[in-house]
Structure 1
Amino acid sequence: MSLLRAWSRDLAMGARFACAGGREGWIRTLLTGVGVGLGVALLLITTALPSALAARTDRGDARSTVGSPTAEHPGPDTLLVARSNQTYRGKDIEGTLVQAEGPKAPVPPGLSRIPGPGELAVSPALKKLLQSPDGALLRERLDGRITETVGDAGLTGPSELLFYAGQSGLDANLNRVERITAFAYERQTERLSPLLLLLVVLTFVTLLLPVAVFVAAAVRFGGERRDRRLAALRLVGADSRMVRRIAAGEALAGSAAGLVLGAGFFLLGRELVGGFDIQQRSVFPADLDPAPWLAALVAVAVPAAAVAVTLFALRGVVIEPLGVVRTTRPSRRRLWWRLLVPLAGLGLLTPLTGRGDDGGEFNRYQVSAGVVLLLVGITVLLPWLLERLVGRLRGGPVSWQLAVRRLQVNIAGAARLVNGIAVAVAGAIALQMMFAGVEGEYTVRTGEDPTRATVSIILGSNVQGDPEQLARQVAGYPGITDAIPLRSVSAAHEPVAEQGLVDVTVGTCAALREVAQLDSCKDGDAFWATGGSTLGGSYGGRAEPGDKLYAGNVRGYEQDVKPVEFTVPATLRTVPSRPDPVGVQRSGLLLTPSVAPGDTGGYGAQQIFVMTDGPAQEGLERARTAAFKASPLSVASTLHTTRQSRSYSTIRTGLFFGATGVLILIGTSLLVSQVEQLRERRKLLSSLVAFGTRRSTLSLSVLWQTALPIGVGMALAALFGIGLGAVLMRMAVQEVRIAWAEVAMMTGAGAGVVALVTLLSLPPLLRLMRPDGLRTE
């Protein structure tokens, strides 16, 4: 018989044993399928993420007005648009004001028509928020009549908060108002820096490697029972090669079941993913569409890996007709070749040291191989370390002795239980060190001072009402201690001027103290601020006491709006300027209200600094609503001391999303593995109970049996994680700093997952300890 026919026959026989070998056979196949299926589902979701993120970007570009074609004059195909983004209870709401100037004006993606004055088109998530009790304050702000819900084509994700508000008074001459003829934006592909590219590669490797470890462990479920069945086959005439091929056939059947279940888990997870919202980022289920070649690769690689792992596991097992011999005296595991694996990884990564500068590039394949070898080093060193540690343990309570003896008999099984989570924890520690180390490269200081003001409101140029009255209204809201208005306007010595302009800031004494150092101040005073940043260009003029100046439309933009004449007070004092709460340091005239120019016809900028005393959520939301009502073009910005690069924050968000999925997989797979191991020991547990062993003792033994390997595994993971993080930081030309809090958090999270799994496995354990477990077929 040819080798191919022999393999086909034996693989088919193994598959029949897996599927039709009685209850024990199909239960083992089901457990293997569930374990493999969870890994397959996560692999499919991971391969689908790039296409999902690309679809988000494409839809965002399709509705963008950045770089859209514009028109100078109104026409049948023109549309006035203005950004009106909002913030509500810490959530960002993207808003656009629209006003059609003709019947052929472009319609935003996801809408069937342009909202008219007083009408709103909102995303499904925003509509749900507005209709909920939590959206009561937001309903006061966005009080237009909802006439349409934005379709998927106009949204980046199902949980996005977005609205289009129809207007009637927009003017293309107003700031931030554009006249466009189409929605379009051709994005320029941003080239990732070497550091960001390194972070992307590390994220994918450290998230996918634990999945591969779990899949490899899942195909070995029920290994002891399988070996006993193979011994029976030897008794009826099968040779050693044949039984190994039959074992490979069983693994192939389990992995095939895993592929089917994995596809089902993927479809289920894809439907559920639309309900997840991580930092206001979400994806549509339809966008999670893995590339066909990647799905085909998973479909081929998983069964091949299952067969390879099974044959590798049987290399040290002697299956004889009367039983399975794993050698009477197990040979001690050798250390030298286990050290070669992480050393090979270091050998690949060390030549890349110092490549993190601007001119450096990382070979992604070399980095991936080095990281994989270092993390795989945990899986090969852990059995050796457990063997040396457990082999020296003696004495103790009965529960401790039962656990230690079980570990001494099956070190490999205990290591398999911990390998995946140890690899995940080590990778997480290394990534946390990398992110903490390079965070300064992608975090900039804004110059804003949240201790002086919580929110800065820049009022639109079409503001309705008196800004000072608006500030008094805002200051009366609960939790708000003060609201300080400032007005800025350009002035010149001539009614129309292009050069020598003077920047004029108008406010009360309390307001002017926010922009200059004043020893004394009363209404009627005037100051000349020095030391601030100049506006450059046409600015830089000087005002003297008694000078006649003109403020407002000094550039002559509109013929019917005349600049306002005023006189600089004779008592003009020179004072040093200071940065305002948003970090702007002003120069020029500082005037109190009684000596300031009057109404400048909408020219100039008006700003309100809002101060709070601790959390003042309701007051801040009412302040934002008041500003929006005064002018929908108002911008209310929350002040922050730092701001992160968008690419950096996106990668970190992706890591959080992936780590969440891996943790779910870890917990579920560990639970399946724990239940499978308990099931194999059912008769032993029932026998111990029958001979008088207390159930609490057996429960504690299971806890010790899990706690001891996880303790060793977490210590090894912390050591390798810190080492890998140090190597990566040297590659990125960063100072090596160990964030011990993050190390403790990661190892604690890994141990916590195992503790939770152990608690969840106690009910099955109690059921397996019943006397009927001694019954056999």
Structure 2
Amino acid sequence: MIGFGLRLAVTGGREAITRLVLIATATALGVGMLLAVVAGINAVTTQNDRTAWLSVRGEDTDPSGSLWWLDRDDFFRGQEIQRVDVAVAGPGAPVPPGIDRLPAPGEYYVSPALHSLLASAPAAQLGDRFPGREAGLLGVDAVPAPDDLIVLVGRSPADLSAVDGVSRVGAISTSTPESDASAIKAILGIVAIGLLLPILIFINSATRLSAARREQRFAAMRLIGATPRQISWVAATESTVAVVLGTAVGFALYEALRAPIADVPFTGAASYPDDVSLTVGAGLVVALGVPVVAAFSSLFALRRVRISPLGVTRRVTPRAPGFWRVVPLIAGLAELAWLVGRRPSSSDSQTFAYLGGILLVMIGLIVAGPWLTMVGARALAARSSRPSTLIAARRLADDPKAAFRSVSGLVLALFVTTVAIGVITTMTADRTAEHDTGDASLMHLYVPGTAAARFSVVDELRAIPGVTEVAELRTEPGSDYTTLASCAELAGWSSLGRCPEGAAVVEVQSAVLEPGRTWPASTVGPAEFANLAAAEFFVQTDGSTAALERARTTLENGFPGFVPPPSTERDLALGFVKAMAVWRQVADVVILAGLPIAGCSLAVGVVGGLIERRRPFSLLRLSGAPLAVLRRVVALESALPLLVVSAVAVGSGLLAAHLFLRSQLDISLRAPGAEYYLVVGVGLAVGLALVASTLPLLRRITGPSAARND
């Protein structure tokens, strides 16, 4: 029977070859995208694991550890540099990944991207921050992404041990902290849920092409004596041969997509092409799982034939879907609502709870779709007066499951898009006020408890071209919060406040610096002020890159090791900007990949429906129905479930986003901007355009010859 099934698949005439090509093509696209998603997740996981060594964890600190360790961030031209200073504190000091030995005092290792930057940037702006010479490049194991800027600096034990914030460690971290890992899991969960379900629906839709026509053929075979077991083997073989061919092509498509996937900054940075890879287990699951699923899908579609061959010819109207189908959708939204005010304490529990709720809502949309389609069709039939509208409404009401199946992928894509854009828009609007990214000309350094710099920092700063003003705040004796400023230095500033008339030194609270504010006079005189420990530096520049970076280098060399380093408001906002960029990237990936996949699923579903109903449509044409009426019937049968269920999906997406924001961040959803409505509008328009593009097939497949009995 396997050989007979193979002959039916490839020698069954033009219709069989067309079906084989369509199923293979659709499966290839679905498998290729499925493998790309899995490989992208592996790339992000690998990239995340490589960041573990870059910062010391609490469990790594050891008062008797053999390595002095100081990790901190630095900035250059709007980019973040990750810097780690090390010094040997005892025998057996651990060595970070990517190098064979620790850098000696006066040596440093750099990532390839930073090596190129050091070669092109003036030393006074960047290179002078790192003492000594470059000892070599950090290997791939130590550099999470190709464009990452990382430096590992060797220092003497006496020098590094005196720096504030330094730690002694006995081991270097090899695992990502729980808090960081949970964020990555959440991102990967959103991508996986947003893409995998539409892909699986796409593959399932492809394997069900011409199911009705095959039912009739297999029913005839049953009537001449074929057993249910034989029919099952033939059906499984006929479906599997196309899926196996498509799966093989899908693996080739995945290989072609590896390089473009590596360039997608899922976490804010691109990946290495070699990281975009599949594990042996994942490859086997896809290679074997997709054909197996296709075989079972084929058997499920032909279940009526296995029960009785007459069941196909009678064509009993399926049972109408019940109201119970909306229960999973309501349950998913109720679970997210219950989490408001009850956020789980652990990050793993949060990931499970929120992603579980969103997944339940998505499953609920799929389960409730046929019922919603039926309700919309009955409402349309009650108000229809045109033949095409009445025919479409009646057909939808008779079999809403088949009608909804073709649009289910696009409905899910719209739901995920709504959730992603709703969350990102609200987070961006809420947190932008907390991160002022406007001023990039004022440099600030906080240096508590420092008695003196290594050289005259103020004189050096004032000698830099582009530096317009320098203010040095000093620590008030006996106070941890109040700093002092010289009125001579404040005289040229408009943003730090001013001195009362006759005062030489004033008490300043740098946390509440305000333009035009008059500070109270201090009892400390100018001579005593000059001998106090430095507390903070403010450097006003003309905003040029050269002035900013030279001032930063001067401050870092004068006061090494302070966290945060000399920075502007824009520098300090880089983390926020990067985080928002990551979430936007996730949304873009889901939208740009999910909508085309859903559109392909819709096109396959509509074409499959036309092929299955070619005989009824041909009989309608022979009975006098104009071709335009049939086209309106097909358009309405696809457009009605798409619009009805999409409205529910969009509303559920906005509600799910609001509940997540209230529970996780204690903020309310803000109305999405024009970008969101444009994306939804384009998605629906593309879906309707795909339906319209299939209408010309009606003339070709509903000719008089299609009305004959096979």
Q: Which amino acid aligns with 2:145?
A: G
**Is the alpha carbon distance of 1:694 and 1:728 closer, same or farther for their aligned partners in structure 2, counting shifts above 3 Å?**
same
Within 5 Å, which residues of 2 pair with 1:548-627?
579-580=512-513, 589=522, 598=530, 604-605=534-535, 607-610=537-540, 619-620=544-545, 622-627=547-552
C-alpha contact 1:449 1:581 (8 A) present in aligned 2: no
Aligned to 1:509: 490
Equivalent residues of 2:331, 2:360 under 8 A apart: yes
Tell me the SS of whatever aligns to 1:608.
Answer: strand
Aligned equivalent of 1:488: 473
| 2:672 aligned residue | 741
CA offsets 1:233-291 (integer angstroms, 9 cap, x no match): 45765467754653344333444445434444444444443222245334434445556
CA positional deviation for 1:420: 1.2
Q: Give the Cα–Cα distance (whole angstroms) in 2 for the partners of residues 453 and 651 of structure 1.
A: 19
- Counterpart of 1:715 in 2: which secondary structure? helix
The question of whether the paired residues in 1 share the 8 Å contact of 2:202 and 2:600 is answered with no
Quote the offset at 1:717 in angstroms.
1.0
1:719 match: 651
**For residues 589 and 273 of structure 1, do their structure 2 counterparts lie closer, same or farther at Cα, with a shift above 3 Å needed?**
farther
**Deviations, residues 126-161 of structure 1 (Å, cap 9, x unaligned):** 456678xxx778996448997744321111123323
Whether the 8 Å CA contact 1:714–1:751 is kept in 2: the answer is no
Contact 1:207 1:659 in 2 (8 A): no
Report deviation, 1:58. Answer: 3.7
Counterpart contact for 1:126–1:160, Cα < 8 Å = yes
Match for residue 637 of structure 1 among 538, 558, 567: 567
In the alignment, the residues of structure 1 paired with residue 344 and residue 521 of structure 2 have an alpha-carbon distance, to the nearest angstrom, of 42
Residue of structure 1 aligned with 2:589, choices 637, 648, 660: 660
Aligned to 1:628: 553
Shift of 1:715: 0.9
Counterpart in the other structure of 1:538 = none
Partner residue of 2:599? 670
* Matched letter for residue 408 of structure 2: N
Name the residue aligned to 1:85: 74
Shift of the 407–527 alpha-carbon distance from structure 1 to 2, 3 Å rule, reads same
Cα gap change, 1:270 to 1:199, in 2 (>3 Å): closer
Q: TM-score, normalised by structure 2?
A: 0.70
**Conserved in 2, the CA contact under 8 Å of 1:355 and 1:732?**
no
Q: Whole-Å Cα distance in 2 between the matches of residues 587 and 380 of structure 1?
A: 73
Match of 1:457 in 2: 444
> Which residue is equivalent to 1:32?
23
1:325-350 deviations in whole A, cap 9, x for unaligned? 5738x567344343344356567777
1:435-482 CA distances to partner (integer Å, 9 max, x unpaired)? 778999x97986x76667754332997666653563574646xxxxxx
* Count, aligned residues: 682
Partner of 2:367: 377
Shift of 1:668: 3.8
Q: Distance in 1 between matches of 2:671 and 2:305?
A: 43
Cα distance in 2 for partners of 1:250, 1:323 equals 21
Q: 1:62 aligns with which of 49, 53, 56?
A: 53
Q: Using the TM superposition, give the Cα deviation of residue 419 of structure 1 relative to its aligned residue in structure 2, in angstroms.
A: 0.7
Q: Once the 2 structures are TM-superposed, how far is the Cα of residue 312 of structure 1 from its aligned partner? A: 4.2
Q: Would you say the 8 A contact 1:15–1:252 is kept in 2? A: no
Equivalent in the alignment of 1:123: 111
Q: Return closer, same or farther for 1:292/1:216 CA change in 2, 3 Å cut-off.
A: same
Please state if 1:18 is matched with 2:3: no
- Is the CA contact (8 Å cut-off) linking 2:108 and 2:151 kept in structure 1? yes
Tell me how far apart the structure 1 counterparts of residues 183 and 273 of structure 2 sit (CA, whole Å): 31
1:355 is aligned to: 342
Q: Alignment RMSD, CA only?
A: 6.3
Partner of 1:424: 413
Please tell me the residue identity of whatever aligns with 1:306.
A
The residue aligned with 2:323 is 336
Please say if residues 198 and 598 of structure 2, whose CA atoms lie closer than 8 Å, have aligned partners that are also in contact. no
Asked whether the equivalents of residues 353 and 733 of structure 1 are also in contact (C-alpha less than 8 Å), the reply is no
Check 1:586–1:761 CA distance in 2 against 1; reply closer, same or farther (3 A cut): farther
Once the 2 structures are TM-superposed, how far is the Cα of residue 86 of structure 1 from its aligned partner?
Answer: 1.7
User: How far off is 1:714 after superposition?
Assistant: 2.0
Q: Which moved more, 1:64-73 or 1:226-235?
A: 64-73
Contact 1:317 1:325 in 2 (8 A): no
Cα distance 1:403–1:268, how it changes in 2: closer, same or farther (>3 A)?
A: farther
Contact 2:446 2:535 in 1 (8 A): yes
After superposition, the C-alpha distances for 1:305-324 in whole angstroms (9 at most, x for unaligned) are 43444344445789999996
Q: Structure 1's 300 and 726: CA in aligned 2 closer, same or farther, altered over 3 A?
A: farther
Do 1:457 and 1:627's aligned partners in 2 also have CA atoms closer than 8 Å? no
What is the distance in 2 between the residues matched to 1:581 and 1:704? 64
- Give the SS at the match of 1:157: coil
Distance in structure 1 (CA, Å) of the matches to 2:318 and 2:697: 36
Counterpart residue number, 1:185: 173
Does the 8 A contact of 1:31 with 1:672 survive in 2?
no
Distance in 2, Cα, partners of 1:323 & 1:499: 90
- The answer as to whether partners of 2:94 and 2:172 remain within 8 angstroms in 1 is no
Residues 383 and 475 of structure 1: CA distance in aligned 2, closer, same or farther (over 3 Å): same
- Please list the CA deviations of residues 662-687 of structure 1 after superposition, one character each: whole Å capped at 9, or x if unmatched: 64144045236526755886999999
Q: How far apart, CA to CA, are the structure 1 residues paired with 2:182 and 2:67?
A: 43
Q: Which runs of 5 or more residues in structure 1 are unaligned?
A: 1-8, 477-482, 493-497, 533-576
Distance 1:356 1:304 in 2: 40
What SS does structure 2 have at the residue aligned with 1:273? helix
CA distance in 2, matches of 1:181, 1:351: 43
Determine if the alignment matches structure 1 residue 251 to structure 2 residue 239: yes
- Is the contact between residue 276 and residue 282 of structure 1 (CA under 8 Å) also seen in structure 2? yes
Look up the SS of the partner of 1:740 in the other structure. coil
Instruction: Report the counterpart of residue 525 of structure 1 in structure 2.
Output: 504
The aligned amino acid for 2:74 is: N
User: Do the aligned partners of 2:424 and 2:584 also contact (CA within 8 Å) in 1?
Assistant: no
State percent identity of aligned pairs: 22
